Amino acid sequence: MNKRLLQFLLFFSLLICLIYFVFLGLGFFTDKNYSNSIEKDFTGSREKMWNILTDIDKIPDRREDVLEVERLGKNRYGFESWLELTPTGGELKFDAIEFQEPGRYVVQLEGSNFDMSGKWIYELNARSSTAFNLRISEESFVDNIMVRSVMAITGRDATLKQEMNSLSEAFESTNQ
């Protein structure tokens, strides 16, 4: 075999290995625990946002990362439990664990097929009769090193930002 071809293959193989180990290193050095909050002010009905937020059957309509939602019935807290199915084959089991209409909604990720768990706290605080603030807080844990690597690249706050954007778009579309 040509010496140059062997050198190229060796170099290419080493480069692929280096990229892979850097990728794993990102996951290894990224903290398993994550906690953050984002918030946004809205003009309109707080109750309308509450209805969008708590309507689990409409989650696939507002989030492109959810293909389907399967209701699982009431959980041990007496609230809804459901399974979100993603286009990539992911399955995430959620439980509503706190439901204080129309101000506070807490959702817990009970399990997923990519070793992530956590809870998301949604707080709707009235600013006036026609304005409110939505605050979304995340407290999550990712055990899978590969998933942590991907999150390190995309940003650990990507889920929070995506959720705020999908809720904002759904809310704005109801105000037109």
The answer to whether residue 22 sits within a structural domain is no
Per-residue model confidence as pLDDT tens digits over 102-147:
999 999 999 898 889 999 999 999 999 899 999 999 999 999 999 9
What does the alpha-carbon distance between residue 68 and residue 42 come to, in Å, rounded to a whole number? 28
Q: How many domains does the chain have?
A: 1
The answer to whether residue 17 sits within a structural domain is no
The answer to whether residue 19 sits within a structural domain is no
The answer to whether residue 91 sits within a structural domain is yes
The answer to whether residue 25 sits within a structural domain is no
The answer to whether residue 5 sits within a structural domain is no
**CATH code for position 167:** 3.30.530.20
Confidence of residue 176 (pLDDT cuts 50, 70, 90): low
Confidence of residue 92 (pLDDT cuts 50, 70, 90): very high
Tokens (6 digits) for 39: 């918030």
Give me the half-sphere count of Cα atoms (radius 13 Å) on the Cβ side of residue 93.
10
Lookup result for tokens 């989030």: 63
Q: Is the peptide bond before 102 cis (omega within 30 degrees of 0)?
A: yes
Structural domain for 84, as ranges:
31-174
Q: Which helix (H) or strand (E) segment is 83 a member of?
A: strand 80-85
The answer to whether residue 7 sits within a structural domain is no
Per-residue model confidence as pLDDT tens digits over 40-85:
999 999 999 999 999 999 999 999 999 999 999 999 999 999 999 9
